Amino acid sequence: MFQRRWFLSAVFTLAAVSLVSAEEKPFHIQAHRGAGIAKPENTLEAFEYTWSIRVTPEADLRTTSDGEIVCFHDGNLARVVSNVSDAKKKTSVEKLPAEEVLQLEVGSFRGKQYAGQKVPTLESIFTAMKGHPERLLYLDIKTADQDQLVKLIDKYGVTSQVIYTTTHHHLIQEWKKRVPGSLTLLWNGGTEEKLTQKMADVRAAGFEGITHLQIHVRVGDLASDDPFTPSTKFLKQIGQELKEKGIVFQVLPWECDDQKAYVRLLELGVESFATDYPEVTVEAVKEFRSR
């Protein structure tokens, strides 16, 4: 139980999500890819907005050809970059120098009102976090050197503000040895059969180093008795086990914008959300806790 008490105390102190009164536990919400679907992904402006509504952004980390860690999700430039040639859209961030990557325009694909937003460096994000302990950040590492990442975290003094995020348990185990003051999240997708096997493996390892555990959920007909995949039974069982272990149970309702789905999941014992719709999620938590 020590791990759980430490986590809740830390989140309360940092005021990561001020959705509830002082008498209730804070509720932790992750904005998928930085701000969800409505706004540009992985930009400083998106992160600033997400922090302003007391939600924690996720940063996808890649490294430029000359060694700068930047925030960018995709393996090429095709989907979100507006100011490169069609031929260059097949290029990856990893093949370009930082000087060029930082000039990529990545806002207007979400609307003209966001035109001009650029790819930020991780250092610029840490600069925005320094001196603001309430600003937390999920780190989803695509291509970034751990030694370099640890140095940057130490340089900016944001150890307690970062949440190391991966689908590989062994990486969390290694990370916690290097950065014991950091939070962690193990995310998990796939069929219920695959999830059952992965949970068995993690269980056999004693859930070592994990402070959050995320399950991807598909939402079906909310009028049915069991609208979720994996099943309601599976989610309830996992939630109870994680609660007993002092690990925060997070789910990602994949591309779901229905507030009722979030409330249904809260009724199953979910303790945290990752979401493409942070505003909807905030309102669902408020509704649930106002009952």
Amino acid at site 52: S
Task: Quote the tokens at residue 137.
Answer: 């950040």
Question: Which percentage of the chain shows pLDDT scores above 70?
Answer: 91
- Cα diameter, the chain: 56
- In this structure, the number of other CB atoms found within 10 A of the CB of residue 79 comes to 12
For residues 43-69, average pLDDT: 97
pLDDT at 25: 62
Asked, for residue 80, whether it belongs to a domain, the answer is no
Range of the domain at 19: 2-62+121-289
Question: Which percentage of the chain shows pLDDT scores above 90?
Answer: 90
pLDDT at 27: 86
Residue 90 three-state SS: helix
CATH number of the domain bearing residue 24: 3.20.20.190
Q: Are 204 and 197 in contact (CB under 8 A)?
A: no
Amino acid at site 102: L
pLDDT at 20: 45
For residues 260-279, average pLDDT: 96
C-alpha of 172 from chain center:
15
For residues 178-184, average pLDDT: 96
pLDDT at 23: 45
Q: 6: pLDDT confidence band, cut at 50, 70 and 90? A: very low
pLDDT at 24: 56
pLDDT digits (tens, 9 = 90+) for 88-113: 999 999 999 999 999 999 999 999 99
Q: CA 213 to CA 250: how far, in whole Å?
A: 6
Asked, for residue 268, whether it belongs to a domain, the answer is yes
- The more confidently predicted of residues 20 and 194 is 194
Strands 137-141 and 212-219: unpaired
Q: 19: pLDDT confidence band, cut at 50, 70 and 90? A: low
Q: 114: pLDDT confidence band, cut at 50, 70 and 90? A: very high
Q: What are phi and psi of 114, to 5 degrees?
A: -105, 5
Asked, for residue 24, whether it belongs to a domain, the answer is yes
Asked, for residue 141, whether it belongs to a domain, the answer is yes
Token pair 């370009």 in the structure block, residue: 96
Asked, for residue 67, whether it belongs to a domain, the answer is no
When divided into structural domains, the chain yields a total of 1
Task: Quote the tokens at residue 159.
Answer: 């150890």
Q: CA 118 to CA 173: how far, in whole Å?
A: 34
Name the strand (E) or helix (H) holding 252: strand 248-253
For residues 146-170, average pLDDT: 97
pLDDT at 121: 98
Asked, for residue 164, whether it belongs to a domain, the answer is yes
Tell me what the pLDDT averaged over the chain comes to. Answer: 92
